[in-house]
């Protein structure tokens, strides 16, 4: 009997199971979660013949190594990185058939932050609220990978994309985030609004799946004090006490008391997932509130 499973040999700095997340539960305090670079996760799923919402591995910076217990098709995408099977180089960004017991090693990202590993059949860990995603804020879903863990796989359909290499966008050398100002832009001075959209920030090394933190000029408040906690959406640009903008990503809290000066267009967030610390960052206002 075939053992539909994947053994973790090297978990890496932070490797989690992710799919499209669990939207629709913010009213009970549950973040959406899901793959930070959604297009990259969907592409590797397509390459191995999975549905776009199948669960994949999301690695952070230094990859991971896994050993399937059955023959599978795999694909690695997102942040470009070296990929080997039993020590032999295989293509990144393409479907690769590997035998049961072979070692798939996903190496350190050469650019970008997060690589995605799809396995035919998808990762069949238990779903929570309709998603198999790991949520680092609430703790829902499977825990981050550890050495020696074993992940169940679903049955593959036996088909995969017939391509040599699938084109993928390069990680950004400059991150440009289009924003709609508001809902609390009136809590900041006009000079602060000009600073937000006229000065260059940099991605901070303190960034994570909860939010992208920035380094750069502080934004001056026009209204003192704090708000009662109010709802937060994916891409909200909150300004905490230090005055530096913070862009909320997939594992963001669902409420907060610091004012939200703007909201990032959803189409720009996948690039934010691949911006390494130090990447220049510009906020571009595309429409004012009201």
Same domain (yes/no): 20, 143? yes
- Sign of the dihedral defined by the CA atoms of residues 128, 129, 134, 136, in that order: negative
Q: What pLDDT score does 179 carry? A: 98
Q: What pLDDT score does 2 carry? A: 65
Q: What pLDDT score does 163 carry? A: 78
User: Looking at the domain assignment, is residue 189 inside a domain?
Assistant: yes
Nearest-5° Cα angle at 43, 209 to 153: 80
- pLDDT digits over 166-184, tens only? 888 999 999 999 999 999 9
Same domain (yes/no): 185, 147? no
Same domain (yes/no): 17, 140? yes
- pLDDT digits over 128-157, tens only? 999 999 999 999 999 999 999 999 999 987
- Name every residue whose Cβ is closer than 8 Å to that of residue 7 and which is 6 or more positions away in sequence: 66, 67, 68, 69, 148, 149, 150
Alpha carbon 4 to its chain's center: 26
Q: In what order do the strands lie in the sheet with 104-106?
A: 88-89, 83-85, 104-106, 64-68, 5-10, 150-152
- Name every residue whose Cβ is closer than 8 Å to that of residue 53 and which is 6 or more positions away in sequence: 19, 20, 45
Same domain (yes/no): 137, 185? no
User: Which of 101, 121, 152 is where one domain is finished?
Assistant: 152
Got the DSSP string for 200-232? Answer: -EEE-TT--SSEEEEESPPPPBSS-S-PPPEE-
- Report the C-alpha gap between 211 and 246 in whole angstroms: 6
Same domain (yes/no): 130, 190? no
- Report the C-alpha gap between 92 and 145 in whole angstroms: 22
Which residues in the chain land under pLDDT 50?
A: 1, 289-290
User: Looking at the domain assignment, is residue 161 inside a domain?
Assistant: no
Q: What pLDDT score does 218 carry? A: 98
Q: What pLDDT score does 290 carry? A: 45
CATH number reported for the structural domain that contains residue 264 in this entry: 2.40.100.10
User: Which of 152, 184, 214 is where one domain is finished?
Assistant: 152
Q: What pLDDT score does 78 carry? A: 97
What's the token pair of residue 179? 């924003």
- Name every residue whose Cβ is closer than 8 Å to that of residue 1 and which is 6 or more positions away in sequence: none
Query: What are the residue ranges of helices labelled H in the chain?
Result: 38-48, 190-198, 269-273
User: Which of 121, 152, 183 is where one domain is finished?
Assistant: 152
Radius of gyration of the chain from its Cα atoms, rounded to whole angstroms: 20
User: Looking at the domain assignment, is residue 160 inside a domain?
Assistant: no
User: Looking at the domain assignment, is residue 164 inside a domain?
Assistant: no
User: Looking at the domain assignment, is residue 41 inside a domain?
Assistant: yes
User: Looking at the domain assignment, is residue 159 inside a domain?
Assistant: no
Same domain (yes/no): 70, 194? no
214 strand-pairing partners: 203
pTM comes to 0.95
User: Looking at the domain assignment, is residue 158 inside a domain?
Assistant: no
Instruction: Tell me the CA distances in angstroms from 55 to 99, 179, 283, one per residue in order.
Output: 21, 30, 32
Q: What pLDDT score does 288 carry? A: 57
Range(s) of the domain holding residue 241: 175-287
Same domain (yes/no): 11, 83? yes
Q: Are the CB atoms for 101 and 120 separated by under 8 Å?
A: no
User: Looking at the domain assignment, is residue 166 inside a domain?
Assistant: no
Same domain (yes/no): 134, 234? no
Same domain (yes/no): 110, 201? no
Same domain (yes/no): 9, 139? yes
Same domain (yes/no): 19, 141? yes
Tally the domains of the chain: 2
Query: What are the residue ranges of helices labelled H in 81-231?
Result: 190-198
Same domain (yes/no): 187, 133? no
């Amino acid at each position: 009997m075939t053992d539909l499973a994947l053994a973790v040999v090297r978990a890496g700095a932070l490797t989690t199971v992710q799919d499209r997340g669990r939207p629709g539960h913010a009213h009970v305090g549950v973040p959406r979660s899901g793959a930070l670079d959604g297009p990259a996760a969907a592409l590797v799923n397509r390459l191995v013949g999975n549905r776009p919402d199948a669960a994949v591995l999301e690695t952070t910076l230094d990859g991971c190594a896994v050993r399937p217990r059955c023959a599978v098709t795999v694909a690695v995408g997102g942040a470009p990185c070296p990929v080997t099977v039993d020590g032999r180089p295989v293509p990144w960004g393409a479907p690769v058939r590997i035998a049961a017991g072979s070692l798939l090693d996903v190496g350190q990202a050469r650019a970008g932050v997060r690589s995605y590993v799809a396995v035919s059949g998808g990762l069949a860990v238990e779903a929570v609220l309709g998603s198999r995603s790991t949520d680092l804020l609430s703790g829902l879903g499977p825990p981050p990978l550890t050495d020696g863990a074993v992940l169940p796989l679903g049955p593959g359909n036996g088909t995969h994309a017939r391509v040599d290499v699938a084109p993928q966008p390069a990680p950004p050398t400059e991150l440009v985030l289009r924003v709609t100002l508001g809902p609390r832009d009136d809590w900041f001075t006009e000079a602060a609004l000009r600073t937000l959209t006229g000065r260059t920030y940099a991605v901070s090394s303190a960034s994570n799946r909860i939010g992208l933190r920035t380094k750069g000029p502080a934004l001056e408040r026009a209204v003192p004090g704090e708000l009662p906690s109010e709802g937060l959406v994916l891409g909200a640009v909150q300004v905490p006490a230090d005055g530096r903008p913070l862009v909320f990503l997939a594992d963001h809290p669902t409420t907060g008391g610091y004012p939200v000066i703007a909201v990032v267009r959803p189409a720009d967030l996948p690039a934010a997932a691949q911006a390494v610390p130090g990447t220049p960052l510009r906020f571009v206002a595309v429409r004012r509130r009201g």
